[in-house]
Structure 1
Amino acid sequence: MIRMVVTDHIFADLEHERAAARTLGAALETFNVATEAETIEALRGANIALVNFAPVTDAVLEVMAPGAVIVRYGIGYDNVDLEAADARGIAVCNVPDYGGDTVADHAVTLALMLMRKIIHFDRVLATGEWISPPVLAPILASSQTTVGLLGTGRIGLAVARRLQPFGFKVLAFDPFANQEHVGEYGIELVSLDELFAQSNLISLHAPATPETHKIINAANLDRMRPGSFIVNTARGALIDQDAVLEALGSGQLAGVGLDVFDPEPLPRDHGLRTHPNAILTPHAAFYSEQSLQNLQRLASEEAIRAGRGENLRCLVNRPALNAPSA
């Protein structure tokens, strides 16, 4: 019998997963693991694993059934050792399209709150005081503001589409994009240096790779216009948090809107938690009732394909090329 395992989750119920298990005639087991040791025990002999944040290391992969399939709840798969999965012939899938619009909504919300300085006005009025708007100058008109996108995948393009009615100029850096395609969204492709130099606000929509690791660092922040903004709803590893804190202190950055951190949770004593120019949310950009339903449904449908031996919809590695010989 197929052994199907949910290692960890945040859902109200697992009806989609249970339905998938019934379709396959599989045994479904659910856990709430967090450590490598716990994950090893949960996935010992598993054929299909649906994984949220559990660490899927080589030691974990070693105990899974031959030809197993891992389905990551979400877009990123930083917690899965892809090289080890390749070497062991284990397929890894993600769910890239369950909630892109929700993340884009969150990113644009943070951007508008920062640029319009909504939090600052609110905090003054909450004390019972009043404020003259020019005290918080400068606040630029959207038509005079350039937003830079680091990445033009599904979410980056959705952000650009939301920004268009406001009249923002939108630039982007993406080495894999072409101008004809992104131009339909009102985006002008530029170099990375130009993105930092010309943008009033940069919104991050790139995966965590060796090339993008801490791409928001002291050197690149210094290339930005004084008083600029950063929004990150992508991956915490894209940002050097200490460099961002220092740039907030110097005024090089006027504000940041961060939904993801490295590590998570953000340490209790990190200065970003209390900085008046930082808007922080707890990795919540993905969340809406509809996006969670989409996530569970799409992940469960992938699990069914895995159990039936069908082509996987969202394979992110190449296990067939590296599977151990029988």
Structure 2
Amino acid sequence: MVITDHSFAGEDFERAAAKDLDADFAVFHATTEAEAIEAVRGADVALVNFAPMTAAALGAMNPNGVVVRYGIGFDNVDLDAATRLGVRVCNVPDYGADTVADHAVTLTLMLVRKVAQFDRALAAGGWPSATELAPIRSTSETTVGLLGTGRIALAVAKRLRPFGFDLIAHDPYADPDVAAAHGIDLVDLDELFRRSHVLSLHAPATADTRGIVNADNLAKMPFGSFLVNTSRGALVEQDAVLDALDSGALAGVGLDVFHPEPLTPDHRLRAHPHAVLTPHAAFYSEQSLRDLQRLAAEEAARAIRGEPLRCPVN
């Protein structure tokens, strides 16, 4: 049992699981394909954060190996190669849904109320009038569109409803009854962009969703709308977003994820006055990290014992 890479304070849950099962255990800090290959060579179970699990890395594992991805997404795992090689892949989709939802709602409220722009004006010595950054919509006049209706999106909806936002969503796999119970009207993709004053992204990066926030779709949104992304950077064409910000078509963005990451030091988003940025930190709270490591270690233990995996993705 190995950890290819992580950014946690320690590995108590993982070490305890390995000890209970009398499994060899090692921790690496792999960032490249070559380092990932060496980290997982001969491993039965690999707990993976951001290390690139390419076909070559997956092929270095023991037969019937299992990859446990720390987190929801598994973009860094070649899923097709894993399936072809007989490597099972699982994730931890439920460790921090509430924390990410809190972050998405925080960004939404900051954008709608233009908190960052007011703050920057005062920090620069100014004292803008309340109407200087007009228009500012009331929440009851604001439609929030959700791309996706998974755990996090539903948690966002639950938090936004008391503010009076109108909620719509697009998700081809949505359960209409669940959406209705959360006060969400399901719409097609075109209507999602046309009606959303705030578009909040909650979808995985797939062939259907990569680059879905592009120039054509942004042009459909109401002028002066907002974009929030706490899901996957690959959903967004960043140059198109910058163009929309510069033209005013987007009045602001709240972004926690980017493509690629990290943003280069000179990236224009960093200095844009209408961008609120966080460094892929929406998942973080002390509780969410404990839950992530505990659930990942429990999944690894199930793999070693030969039990059914809780959250397989292939």
TM bucket (normalised to shorter chain) is: over 0.9
Cα offset for 1:179?
Answer: 2.0
Q: 1 CA distance for matches of 2:295 and 2:134? A: 46
Q: 1 CA distance for matches of 2:84 and 2:139? A: 50
* 1:191 and 2:191 correspond: no
Secondary structure of the 1:282 match is coil
Amino acid at match of 2:73: G
Deviations 1:131-170 (A, max 9, x none): 1110110000000000000000000000000000000000
Partner of 1:100: 97
Q: Which runs of 5+ in 1 are unaligned?
A: 318-326
Cα offset for 1:267?
Answer: 1.7
Q: Which residues in structure 2 correspond to 1:234-245 (within 5 Å)?
A: 234-245=231-242
Partner of 1:123: 120
Q: 2 CA distance for matches of 1:63 and 1:195? A: 44
Q: 2 CA distance for matches of 1:156 and 1:178? A: 13
Deviations 1:56-105 (A, max 9, x none): 00001111101111000000000001111111111100000000000000
Cα offset for 1:129?
Answer: 2.5
* 1:265 and 2:270 correspond: no
In structure 1, which of residues 163, 168, 176 is the aligned counterpart of residue 160 of structure 2?
163
Which moves more between the two structures, 238-247 or 129-138?
Answer: 129-138
CA RMSD of aligned residues (A): 0.6
Q: Which runs of 5+ in 2 are unaligned?
A: none
Q: 1 CA distance for matches of 2:308 and 2:196? A: 42
In structure 2, which of residues 8, 11, 20 is the aligned counterpart of residue 11 of structure 1?
8
TM-score, reference length from structure 1: 0.95
Partner of 1:147: 144
Amino acid at match of 2:11: L
* 1:109 and 2:106 correspond: yes
Q: 1 CA distance for matches of 2:222 and 2:124? A: 32
Cα offset for 1:128?
Answer: 3.0
Q: 1 CA distance for matches of 2:37 and 2:53? A: 8
Equivalent pairs, count = 314
Partner of 1:288: 285
Partner of 1:321: none
Cα offset for 1:11?
Answer: 0.5
TM-score, reference length from structure 2: 0.99
Deviations 1:217-246 (A, max 9, x none): 000000001000000000000000000000
Partner of 2:229: 232
Q: 2 CA distance for matches of 1:292 and 1:178? A: 29
Deviations 1:168-223 (A, max 9, x none): 00000000013221111110000111010011000000000010010000000000
Secondary structure of the 2:100 match is helix
* 1:297 and 2:294 correspond: yes
In structure 2, which of residues 31, 40, 43 is the aligned counterpart of residue 43 of structure 1?
40
* 1:215 and 2:244 correspond: no
Amino acid at match of 2:185: E
Partner of 1:178: 175
In structure 2, which of residues 21, 24, 27 is the aligned counterpart of residue 27 of structure 1?
24
In structure 2, which of residues 63, 71, 74 is the aligned counterpart of residue 77 of structure 1?
74
Which moves more between the two structures, 123-132 or 214-223?
Answer: 123-132
Secondary structure of the 2:132 match is helix
Cα offset for 1:21?
Answer: 0.3
Q: 2 CA distance for matches of 1:121 and 1:73? A: 37
4+ residue stretches of structure 1 with deviation over 4 A? none
Cα offset for 1:269?
Answer: 2.0
